[in-house]
Amino acid sequence: MSIVFVNANSGEGYIEVDGNYGDRKNLSLWLNGDELIEHVADRCHKTIVVVNSVGPVDMETWIDHDNIIGVLYSAPLGQFVGEAIAEVLFGEVNPSGKLPFTIAKKKQHYVPIVDKINESKDPQDTFDRDIYLDYRFFDKHNIKPRYEFGYGLSYTTFQVCDLSIIEITSPSEYLAYPEEYLPIFHVIEDDVCDPEDALFPHDDFDPVPGYIYPYLYNENVRTLDENDCFEYPKGYIPDQKSCPPLAGGGLGGNPSLWEVLYQISAEIKNEGKYKGGSITAQGFKGL
Assessment of whether the complete model's pTM goes beyond 0.75: no
What residues does 6 pair with on adjacent strands? 51
**CATH-assigned architecture of domain 2-156:** 3-Layer(aba) Sandwich (3.40)
Query: How does residue 282 score in pLDDT terms, banded at 50, 70 and 90?
Result: very low
User: What is the DSSP pairing of strand 47-53 with strand 68-74?
Assistant: parallel
The secondary element (H helix, E strand) that includes residue 34 is helix 33-41
CA 200 from centre of chain: 42
For the chain, domain boundaries = 2-156
- Closest alpha carbon to 125 in 255, 256, 248, 259: 248
**Chain center to CA of 237:** 29
- What are the b/e assignments for 109-120, b being 16+ CB within 10 Å? bbeeeeeeeeee
Is the CB of residue 266 less than 8 Å from the CB of residue 164? yes
Sequence-ordered list of residues with C-beta below 8 angstroms from that of 145, at least 6 positions apart, any chain: 102, 103, 104, 105, 109, 138
The Cβ of residue 10 has, within 10 Å, a number of other Cβ atoms equal to 12
54-76 per-position pLDDT tens digit: 889 999 999 999 999 999 998 88
What whole-number distance in Å separates Cα of residue 85 and Cα of residue 64? 23
Portion of the chain with pLDDT greater than 90, in percent:
30
Residue 211 pLDDT > 50: yes
Full DSSP string of 152-181? ---SS-EEEEEEEEEESSPPPSSPPPPPPP
Predicted pLDDT of residue 168: 93
Which pLDDT score, from 0 to 100, does residue 198 have? 77
Mean pLDDT of 128-143: 86
Q: What is the pLDDT of residue 6?
A: 95
CB atoms within 10 A of CB 164: 11
- Model confidence at 284, in pLDDT bands (50, 70, 90)? very low
